[in-house]
Amino acid sequence: MDDIPQSILDEAKWLRDKINYHNYRYYVLDNPEITDAEYDRLFDRLIELEKKYPKIRTPDSPTLKVGGAVLKSFHSVPHRLPMLSLNKVTTEGGFLDFHRRILELTGLSEDKIAYMLEPKFDGLAVELIYENGVLTMGLTRGDGLIGEDITANLRTIRTIPLKLYNHGNVPKLIEIRGEVLLSKRDFENLNRQRSEKGEELFANPRNAAAGSVRQLDSSITASRPLNFVAYGLGVVIGVDIKNQESLLNYLKKAGFKTPKYAFLCHNKDEVIKRYNYILNNRDEYEFEIDGTVIKLNDFDLREKVGELSRSPRWAVAWKFPPSQEQTTVEDIVVSVGRTGALTPVAVLKPVHIAGVKVSRATLHNEDEVKRKDIRIGDTVIVERAGDVIPEVVKVIKEYRTGNEKPFEMPKKCPVCGASVERLEGQAAVRCLNISCPAKQKEYLRHFISRGAMDIDGLGYKIVEQMLDKGIIRDAADLYFLKKEDIFKLERTGNKLAQNILDAIEKSKHPSLKSLIFALGIPNVGEHLASVLAKEFGSIDALSEKTTDELITVNEIGPIVAQSIFDYFREERNIRFIEKLKKAGVVFPVENMERENLPLLGKTFVLTGTLESFTREKAKDMLEQLGAKVSSSVSRKTDFVIAGENPGSKIVKAKQLNVKIKDEKWLKKVFDSKGEIPENG
């Protein structure tokens, strides 16, 4: 380090701390303090310094979150303290037995005992080792005694701080345990993307999380929206934590996500009440949970009751009723989605799974039906994972009678009867009729959803009625609705009508990524929409890109590039976008760091007829480059662009000594993305 100037070392440290802090605000607290552009600037500067002086890259550098190392295999590393598993109970009686044993073992009365009740996450248990506050190693649970070193992958997870924050004194060593998870929503998005690409689907969020973390190439891990929730400890040297409640507080302050539903319970009835609360609210929970974990709060008491060889006696997992059930497939029908994709759906003999009646399960696409060999009449295992769409896990082939009927994808759209087609390299068979009514409905459902235009207060049922009654014909029509139109719906009073109009009005200022997602470009899900928004900054810029330009973007492959390109060249879509603009939907220009725009501070005036673009278009392009375009010439004008038959503005420009340029010059500026030619 001797050869590196102190000022550089200081700056790098300052940048690391700042970026780690803002990561925490953004990913853990969901409450960012700075704009994405400001954040990127800090990040880019750190990358620049580390490139120039590779030695300054410390193990807590946030640049390690980007991933990239490719490993041949994982190393085995023993845990300092075994990572135990939990005894399970499935009934209230089972829990009460556990409670009674705790009273016996501690010799205490109920009023002296407190439990922490937490959700039992269904993810991948890992251990993070922090030495002097810095993450130095991350291990899988493995067999409980020996884990695998997956440090490079864990470093890419946003909710794993590379350095602990906000703690008073830095512990010499602290091993933090918790679960790597994929939210239910991200899981569905990931599977949708995989289905569209014809890749094999993950069975559940747990498998998806585990599959993402055990990747030899950490850039794959980095591309998945993984989370980490902390709930436990291994070895600790240098801080004194006395109970689970203070542990969770400590972890929160140190920069971790902790379980959202964690309840300190002072008696058995409270535990039962909270268990039921979590059970009843599990669908609302961001992550898949399969039960609760009940832990003695006090660490000294834990010591006293001790542990068995594989599981502690101070904790128990109280699992939820099973979320898999056996039933039969009565039929396989086909539904048509917003992109025209035909999705096979199993019609099931209704079963109750975890308290909810299930009578349908998605089969995703033709290949999945083939892979799982699901036939009409089959006995199957169906799984309902939280509010994830129910799935057929597998067929029980032993129960086959020989009367089962294999499924065949129809050759015509089941809704409108038009031809269908399966494009090469894609898993989906699609209806070719662009105005297939099924597409319209599903598109509207998508358009108003969270993540897209987010028109809450306008449910699918209402939109469906509007379409059926001809009150709207497409999504853009929503923005032209009047109160009288809404009164035509069943049971709508003045108040509801006003709420609907307000909700629609509020949705007119979407973020760019929401707007891109809302357009419903085939193969562009929420994640890719945000990648595209970051990369191109506006719908206009995105729509002009060629497939070659699109492919240069990380994560965009040839299929996606083609569908984006095609989308913006289809007449119907062009008209739809124009209609949205006319309706007053604001098309944002984002993420272009405004202060870095090349023409910032320059004022242009356009006069006369331009040949290669309309004046509107030229104005648009200038503004995108940061320039101001004014309608009259003044001392503040930098350039007047004169087309054919310029007006009096030229005279004024000459009087004021303002530079006058022609269209050829302007094109040069555009071609060089905003550079003013040498001679001014």
* Active site residues per annotation: 120
CB of 624 to ligand IVH, least distance (A): 49
**Min CB(212)–ligand IVH separation in Å:** 16
* Shortest reach from residue 356's CB to ligand IVH, in Å: 22
Q: Is 420 in the site for ligand IVH (CB under 6 A)?
A: no
Q: Which of residues 226-255 bind ligand IVH (CB under 6 A)?
A: 231-232
Are the C-beta atoms of residues 337 and 343 closer than 8 Å to each other? yes
Strand order in the sheet with 659-661: 628-630, 603-607, 639-642, 659-661
Q: Is 548 left (phi over 0), alpha (psi -120 to 50) or beta?
A: alpha
Q: Of 11-19, 310-318, 537-545, 578-586, which segment contacts ligand IVH by CB under 6 A? A: 310-318
CA 206 to chain centre: 16
Which residues, 116 to 175, sit near ligand IVH by CB under 6 A?
118, 120-121, 125, 141
Residue 86 CB, shortest distance to ligand IVH, in Å, is 4
**For residues 49 and 160, which CB has a smaller minimum distance to ligand IVH in the complex?**
160
Q: Which one of the spans 83-91, 152-160, 275-283, 409-417 is the region binding ligand IVH (CB under 6 A)?
A: 83-91
Tokens 């598109």 locate to: 443
Q: Which two tokens stand for residue 557?
A: 């492959």
**Strand 659-661 with 639-642, pairing:** parallel
**Among positions 315, 382, 516, 564, the unique one binding ligand IVH when judged by CB under 6 A:** 315
Q: Which stretch binds ligand IVH (CB under 6 A): 114-122, 479-487, 496-504, 516-524?
A: 114-122
Report the residue number whose CB is nearest to ligand IVH: 125
Which lies closer to ligand IVH via its Cβ, residue 290 or residue 378?
290
Which residue in the set 317, 341, 420, 431 belongs to the binding site for ligand IVH (CB under 6 A)? 317
Query: Alpha helices, DSSP H only, in 469-493?
Result: 483-487
Using CB under 6 A, which of 312, 414, 451, 608 touches ligand IVH? 312
Among residues 154 and 329, whose Cβ is nearest to ligand IVH?
154
* x/- track of binding to ligand IVH for residues 35-74 (CB under 6 A): ----------------------------------------
Answer yes or no whether residue 288 interacts with ligand IVH by CB under 6 A.
no
Q: Are 595 and 625 in contact (CB under 8 A)?
A: no
Task: Give yes or no for residue 84 binding ligand IVH (CB under 6 A).
Answer: yes
Q: How far is the CB of 389 from ligand IVH (least distance, A)?
A: 23
Q: Are the C-beta atoms of residues 430 and 420 closer than 8 Å to each other?
A: yes
- State how far the alpha carbon of 461 is from the alpha carbons of 190, 394, 444, 464, 489, in Å: 27, 33, 11, 5, 11
Write out the DSSP string of 383-398.
Answer: E--TTSPPEEEEE-GG
Q: Least distance (Å) from ligand IVH to the CB of residue 287?
A: 10
CB 239 → ligand IVH: shortest distance, Å?
A: 19
Beta bridge partners, 630, equal: 605
With both helix axes pointing from N to C terminus, report the angle between 526-536 and 184-196 in degrees, rounded to the nearest 10: 80
When the beta carbons of 312 and 588 are compared against ligand IVH, the nearer one is 312
Neighbours of 7 (CB within 10 A): 8
Q: Name the residue nearer to ligand IVH (CB basis): 39 or 250.
A: 250
Segment interacting with ligand IVH, rule: CB under 6 A, options 80-88, 365-373, 583-591, 611-619? 80-88
**Selected binder of ligand IVH within 15, 64, 86, 395 (CB under 6 A):** 86
**What stretch of H or E contains 52?**
helix 36-52
Identify which of residues 18 and 141 has a Cβ nearer to ligand IVH in the complex. 141
The single residue among 14, 55, 85, 425 that binds ligand IVH, judged by CB under 6 A, is 85
Name the nearest CA neighbour of 267 among 113, 395, 466.
113
CA distances from 297 to 116, 249, 263 (A): 5, 13, 10
CA distance 626 to 515: 22
Binding of ligand IVH at residue 293 (CB under 6 A)?
yes
- Torsion, Cα 412 452 556 579, to 10 degrees, reads 70
Between 289 and 475, name the residue whose CB sits nearer to ligand IVH: 289
Enclosing H/E stretch for 494 = helix 494-506
Say if residue 508 is exposed, middle or buried (CB neighbours under 10 Å; 0-12, 13-18, 19+).
Answer: middle
| Residue closer to ligand IVH, measured from CB, 317 or 363 | 317
What does residue 364 show for φ and ψ, rounded to 5 degrees? 65, -70
- Which one of 241-249, 312-320, 382-390, 586-594 is the stretch in contact with ligand IVH (CB under 6 A)? 312-320
Considering the complex, what minimum distance in angstroms separates the CB of residue 121 from ligand IVH? 4
From the number of C-beta atoms within 10 Å of its C-beta (0-12, 13-18, 19+), residue 580 rates as buried
Size of the site for ligand IVH (CB under 6 A): 16
Rounded-to-10 torsion of CA 213, 219, 223, 228:
40
Q: Does 318 bind ligand IVH (CB under 6 A)?
A: no
125 versus 190: smaller Cβ distance to ligand IVH: 125
Q: Closest separation between CB of residue 391 and ligand IVH, Å? A: 22
* Smallest distance, ligand IVH to C-beta of residue 144, A: 8
- Kindly tell me which of 255 and 291 has the beta carbon lying closer to ligand IVH: 291
Q: Where are the alpha helices (DSSP H) in 236-356?
A: 244-254, 268-281, 299-305
Please report, as residue ranges, which positions from 179 to 198 form the binding site for ligand IVH (by CB under 6 A): 179
DSSP 594: G
Residues at the interface with ligand IVH (CB under 6 A): 84-86, 118, 120-121, 125, 141, 179, 231-232, 259, 293, 312, 315, 317
